[in-house]
Amino acid sequence: MRQSVEWQIAALKAVKAETRRVKTFTLTLPNWVRHQPGQHYDIRLTAPDGYQAQRSYSIASEPEREGEIDLTVERIEEGEVSTYLHDVLVPGDCLEVRGPIGGYFVWDGSMSGPLMLVAGGSGVVPLAAMIRHRAATGMKVPTRLLYSSRTREDILYGEELKQLASAKDGLVVFHTLTRNQESSWTGFNRRIDLAMLAEVVKPLGEAVQVFICGPTLLVESAANDLVVLGIKPAQIRTERFGPTGLVAGV
């Protein structure tokens, strides 16, 4: 099926601050096409003198929300595009976008087998799209999210994930913090490692389909650990964000 992926002008409908450094941008698209969870959109900025900067951002929203998409973007100080989105763009402004793009790091429920999602920082964004899609369609496929953040304040979609997990329909969410200072924290308290993965993924069995997204080193380490635990490489799909946590670099 050949479809075209052309640039279109989207309109910024709303901005939501998720954390101190992360915002979610809701865009309405004149040529909205149903996406698959895990895909991304490219954003292209053009200065009056013709200079362009282009970056990719994972779609955070479920495909069931027609006509619009959510992109969750971390503000990177040295970043040209993220700083523009955070500091300059206001609702009503236009943004040139292209998508949805990506055919490999996608899950739409058509794969059978339980789902293991491993996220580092803003790597949770495409995995959130998968979780939201699962909820929107009433799927009961056993799904576990292991989500690493620096501190509690850095967790994205915290309340929403808690609420979805409380439905007890097969979704379980595990958090780990790497720079936690609170004694009241009840989740894991360290970087994702072999022992943590073993504990979280074992109950899902051997037919598990794994998606790992986040900083390159976290992704590599988790992927290697899962292979050590007996999961076949072909069952593991990765999306490395590079060092800063953005898709396709700063």
Partner 1 sequence: MAEKFVSRGFVGKRQPADKDGRIPPGQYIREDFPVLSAGPTPRVQLDHWTFTIEGLVQEKVDWNWVEFLKLPAQSFIVDISCVTKWTKLDMNWEGVSLDTLLDYVKLDPKAQFVTAYSYEGYTTNLPIADIVNGQAFIAYKYAGKPLAPEHGGPARLVVPHLYFWKSAKWVAGLRFMEKDEAGFWESAGYHNRGDPWKEERYSNTF
Partner 2 sequence: MKDDISVDTNQEMMLDANSVSGLLWDIFGAEMTAEPTKCAHCGNQAEIGTLLAYNQGPGVVLRCSTCGKVVLRIVQTPDAVYLDARGAVYLRFRW
47 binds partner 1 (CB under 8 A): yes
Considering only the stretches 27-35, 39-47, 197-205, 224-232, report the one whose residues sit in contact with partner 1 under the rule CB under 8 A: 39-47
The count of C-alpha atoms lying within 13 angstroms of the C-alpha of 151, restricted to the half-sphere facing its C-beta, is 9
- Among 48, 183, 184, 234, contact with partner 1 (rule: CB under 8 A): 48
**Which partner, partner 1, partner 2, none, binds residue 125 by CB below 5 to 8 Å per kind?**
none
CA distance 137 to 135: 5
- Residue 183: CB partners within 8 Å, gap ≥ 6? none
Count other Cβ atoms within 10 Å, centred on residue 233. 12
State both tokens at 198. 């073993």
Q: Which of residues 163-222 bind partner 1 (CB under 8 A)?
A: none
Residues making contact with partner 2 (CB under 8 A): 1-2, 4-5, 42, 56, 98-99, 101-106, 191, 215-217, 221, 234, 237-243, 247-249
Shortest Cβ distance from residue 188 to partner 2 (Å)?
A: 16
CB closer to partner 1, 206 vs 220: 220
Residue from 186, 147, 140, 145 nearest 167 by CA: 140
CB closer to partner 2, 28 vs 224: 224
5 binds partner 1 (CB under 8 A): no
- Binding track over 9-28 against partner 1, x by CB under 8 A: x-------------------
Shortest Cβ distance from residue 102 to partner 2 (Å)?
A: 5
**C-alpha to C-alpha distances, 13 to 6, 10, 25, 198, nearest whole angstrom:** 21, 9, 8, 42
**Which partner, partner 2, partner 1, none, binds residue 245 by CB below 5 to 8 Å per kind?**
none
Q: Which of residues 73-102 bind partner 1 (CB under 8 A)?
A: 78, 80, 83-84, 88, 93-96
Cβ atoms of 110 and 138 closer than 8 Å: no
Residues of the shown chain interacting with partner 1 in the complex, contacts defined by CB under 8 A: 9, 45-48, 50-51, 53, 78, 80, 83-84, 88, 93-96
